[in-house]
């Protein structure tokens, strides 16, 4: 598979950089938050999970430890090389067609905000097409003020993650510039993000035949979705 840089996305810093500008070395050192526990609370124990955009396995590994069976998908071979204990699949999410079905499909890391609406639709269709009967999709979306409270920063391990800017570059699309500064290295990532109000997010789900089953966090950033035909 030929992996090319995605237009509007790039990154700098030591080591391999993915087509969407993520640094493999950086994701190997950012500690995971409480997402694996939230996921574990929100789906049946022992479920089969299709994890889309798994990176180095920051979430994959804690999910395996919690007893889930994970198939981990990413378009970066350098990211997948670092995943342990899960089956890995090298593929863009939006064209994935495994011909298999899973209890849970996980689309985290704000990938639903893809700059291209076609890519977003493709990703959400992939979610729906890989769902087993009775299954659910877990989606992580941006907070409502995500593009407004800029610049901002937070600690990550012994470093700092800074959102330096988020500027409109087209109708409904922003270019976001991040910097990750550690004592021994600095990485940057520039990527496109399409902010989605709750109404726009629900419309995006509806376009592919999904609907919200539950907002799992008070800030609405984690969502469980199911096929729209499910009662």
Ligand X SMILES: C[S@@+](CC[C@H](N)C(=O)[O-])C[C@H]1O[C@@H](n2cnc3c(N)ncnc32)[C@H](O)[C@@H]1O
Q: What are phi and psi of 120, to 5 degrees?
A: -60, -45
**59 near ligand X, rule: CB under 6 A:** yes
Show the tokens assigned to 106. Answer: 């996980």
Nearer to ligand X, 53 or 195 (CB): 53
Spell out, one character per residue from 146 to 185, where the chain touches ligand X: x when CB under 6 A holds, - when not.
----------------------------------------
Q: Taking the CB of residue 168, how many other CB atoms lie within 10 A of it?
A: 11
Region from 89-97, 125-133, 143-151, 196-204 binding ligand X, contact rule CB under 6 A: 89-97
Nearest to 89 by CA among 190, 1, 202, 177: 1
Region from 86-94, 141-149, 209-217, 223-231 binding ligand X, contact rule CB under 6 A: 86-94
In terms of DSSP bridges, do strands 131-140 and 102-107 run parallel, antiparallel, or are they unpaired? parallel
**208 near ligand X, rule: CB under 6 A:** no
CB 191 within 8 A of CB 115: yes
**142 near ligand X, rule: CB under 6 A:** no
**226 near ligand X, rule: CB under 6 A:** no
Determine the size of the site formed for ligand X (CB under 6 A). Answer: 20
53 Rama sector, left if φ>0, alpha if ψ -120 to 50, beta otherwise = left
CB of 135 to ligand X, least distance (A): 20
């Amino acid at each position: 598979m030929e992996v090319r840089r995605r237009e509007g996305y790039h990154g700098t810093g030591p080591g391999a950089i993915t087509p969407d500008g993520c640094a493999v070395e950086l994701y190997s050192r950012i500690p995971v938050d409480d997402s694996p526990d939230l996921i574990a609370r929100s789906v049946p124990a022992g479920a089969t999970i299709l994890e889309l955009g798994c990176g180095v396995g920051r979430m994959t590994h804690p999910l395996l430890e919690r007893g889930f069976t994970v198939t981990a998908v990413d378009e970066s071979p350098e990211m997948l090389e670092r995943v342990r204990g899960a089956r890995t699949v090298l593929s863009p999410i939006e064209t994935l067609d495994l011909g298999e079905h899973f209890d849970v499909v996980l689309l985290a890391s704000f990938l639903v905000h893809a700059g291209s609406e076609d890519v977003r639709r493709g990703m959400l269709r992939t979610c729906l097409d890989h769902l087993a009967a009775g299954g659910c999709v877990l989606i992580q979306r941006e907070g409502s003020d995500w593009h407004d409270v800029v610049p901002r920063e937070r600690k990550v391990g012994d470093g700092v993650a800074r959102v330096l800017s988020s500027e409109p570059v087209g109708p409904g699309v922003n270019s976001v510039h991040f910097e990750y500064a550690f004592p021994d290295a600095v990485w940057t990532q520039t990527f496109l993000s399409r902010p989605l109000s709750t109404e726009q997010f629900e419309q995006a789900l509806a376009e592919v035949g999904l609907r919200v089953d539950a907002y799992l966090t008070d800030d609405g950033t984690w969502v469980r979705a199911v096929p729209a035909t499910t009662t």
